[in-house]
Amino acid sequence: MPISYTDQQIHDKAVDLGLIYASQLLPRNLRGKVVAALAAEEAADRQQSPEPQLAGEIVIHGSNILIDGEHFPWLVATQPMEIGLNPDGVSTVRLTLMAATVQVIRPEPRPESE
């Protein structure tokens, strides 16, 4: 996936980094440094895994799946879904996701003192 930033994003980051003032133009020789900083920031954001959260509402309408009003962005296999409706608590949906590759990484063993 190519890295692409607008001139405004690059300018704003250069100001954040203290390389220029807001009223100045960014010298071309510093542009690569700023783009590298933006890319590193983006990579760090991708590596931080957010806390899992409970979906407020899941709507399944044909092949469309909405989670809290947002389209589910991954391909779902045409396998039966398991749907557990619990009006008094948390309901569940089990579906099959499709992926080009799958990697399973075993978690680090925890010390016995934890």
Write the DSSP assignment of 26-82 as a string of letters. PPHHHHHHHHHHHHHHHHHHHHSPPPP---S-EEEETTEEEETTEEP-S-B-SSPPE
- Give the pLDDT confidence score for residue 91 in this predicted structure: 93
Question: Per-residue pLDDT for 114 more than 70?
Answer: no
Mean pLDDT of the 87-105 span: 90
Question: Per-residue pLDDT for 1 more than 80?
Answer: no
The C-alpha atoms of residue 106 and residue 89 are separated, in whole angstroms, by 32
Q: Is this model's pTM higher than 0.85 or not?
A: no
pLDDT tens digit sequence for 11-69? 999 999 999 999 999 999 999 999 999 998 888 877 776 778 899 999 998 888 999 99
The residue with greater pLDDT, 1 or 98, is 98
The C-alpha atoms of residue 64 and residue 36 are separated, in whole angstroms, by 38
pLDDT tens digit sequence for 70-90? 999 888 888 889 999 998 889
- Give the pLDDT confidence score for residue 113 in this predicted structure: 64
Question: Per-residue pLDDT for 2 more than 70?
Answer: no
List the beta bridge partners of residue 66. Answer: 59, 71
